[in-house]
Amino acid sequence: MPSIVLKIDVDTFRGTKEGVPNLVRLLKQHQAGATFLFSLGKDHTGWALRRAFRPGFFQKVSRTSVVEHYGVKTLMYGVFLPAPDIGKGCANEMRAVQDAGFECGIHTWDHVVWQDNVRQRDAGWTQRQMQQAYSRFKEIFGAAPKTHGAAGWQMNAHAFEQLDQFGMSYASDGRALLNDNGSLANITAGPYRLQVNGKSLSCIQMPTTLPTLDEMLGRDIDGIVINGSNIAATILKLTAAPRNHVFTLHAELEGQKLAPIFEELLKGWRKQGYDCVSMADFYETIKNEKLPAHAINWVELPGRSGELFALAA
C-alpha cells in the first residue's frame, strides 16, 4: 500500500493553541498518522511583513488571505504586540499531541528569523538557533527530538550537518521540483541522502512531493482557477497514480479555515488506497534501502515566492 506522509508545520502561537488540537481530532477521526513539527521559541510573525519587497510576495498574499488565516493579532506579534513564547505558552498543547499518539519534532526556534536569515548565516549562528530548539524540545517532551522539518524549506550546509550531529535519522527539509500544474517534475523524486562538503550525510531527506494548499489557491492551472470547491479534487488527480508522497500542511490553515478541504483529502486518499502515516512510520519502510545521493539545490516553485531547498529534476 502506498503512503501519504503527513508533515504538519506549526508556525505560530495561535496555530499551536487552536489549529493543532483541531488537527489531532480530525486525524484521530480518520485513523491517520502524522508528524507535528513545532516552532519552539517566540512568535515574530509580524516581522514577516518585511518580505513585502520580495518578488512574488504580493501575488501570493493576494491569493490567500493572510489576515483570515492567521488573524490580525498574530500579524502584530513582534511589531505592535510583544512576541509570545510558543514553547513556554503552549507546552501542554504540544505534549497532548504526543499523548494522542502522534510523532513530534522540530520545525524551528523562531520561524521568521530562520526563514529570512539562514541561507546567509555561518555555522555559529546556525548551531545556536538549532540548539535552542533542541533544548526546548527536550524540556517540553523529556526526550530528544528524532526529526526536523525546516521553516520555509530554508537551510544551509551547517544546518544539514547539525542534523547528523543531533543523531537524527530522517528529516523533511526540502521539496521535490514541481511543474506549473503542481505535478512532479521528476517522477522518481523520493527519499535521498544529501552530499554536503564532499561527504554523504546520514540523515535521510524526505522531500515534500505535493503542492501545498496555499500555493494552489487562487492560481489559474490549465485554465481553471483553483478555489475551495475544486482544490481537493485537483490534488487528488496528482495522487491518482499510486506512489509514495509527502504532503506538508499547516496548523494555521488546515487546522482552522481549511480543515474541510483537508478532510476531503483524507477521505480521497483513503479511497485511492493510500495509508496516511507519520515520518517515523515511513522511515521504517525505507531505512534499509540504498538511496540516491544529491547535492544541495535551490529552485523557485509555482505559487511560492523566493527560492526553496529542493531536489533537482
Q: Tens digits of per-residue pLDDT, 45-56? A: 885 665 544 454
CA distance 152 to 170: 18
- pTM of the full predicted structure? 0.92
CA distance 196 to 157: 6
Consecutive H or E run containing 176? strand 175-176
Confidence of residue 107 (pLDDT cuts 50, 70, 90): very high
What was the pLDDT predicted at 69? 47
Q: For residues 213 and 248, is the Cβ–Cβ distance under 8 A?
A: no
Confidence of residue 44 (pLDDT cuts 50, 70, 90): confident
What is the CATH number for 116? Answer: 3.20.20.370
**Residue span of the structural domain in which 75 resides:** 3-311
DSSP 194-213: EEETTEEEEEEE--B-S--H
Instruction: Choose the weakest-confidence range: 64-78, 90-104, 139-153, 187-201.
Output: 64-78
| Cell reading at 280 | 517515523
Q: For residues 69 and 252, is the Cβ–Cβ distance under 8 A?
A: yes
Instruction: Name residues whose C-beta falls within 8 Å of residue 236's C-beta, 6 or more positions apart in sequence.
Output: 265, 268, 269, 272
| Cell reading at 262 | 483537508
| Cell reading at 158 | 551547517
CA distance 17 to 101: 18
Provide the mean pLDDT of the chain: 91
CA distance 103 to 105: 7
Confidence of residue 84 (pLDDT cuts 50, 70, 90): confident
Closest to 144 in 3D by CA, of 152, 154, 155, 133: 133
Confidence of residue 8 (pLDDT cuts 50, 70, 90): very high
Per-position b or e across 192-227, b if 16+ CB within 10 A of its CB: bbbebeeeebebbbbbbbbbbbbbbbbbebeeeebe
- In a 13 Å sphere around the CA of 107, the CA atoms on its Cβ side amount to 31
Closest to 161 in 3D by CA, of 200, 208, 207: 200
Count of helices and strands (H, E) across the chain: 14, 14
Closest to 249 in 3D by CA, of 67, 2, 18, 19: 19
Closest to 74 in 3D by CA, of 14, 155, 156: 14
* For helices 123-141 and 91-99, angle between their N-to-C axes, nearest 10 degrees: 70
Q: How many domains does the chain have?
A: 1
Mode of pairing for the β-strands spanning 3-10 and 275-277: parallel
What was the pLDDT predicted at 312? 76
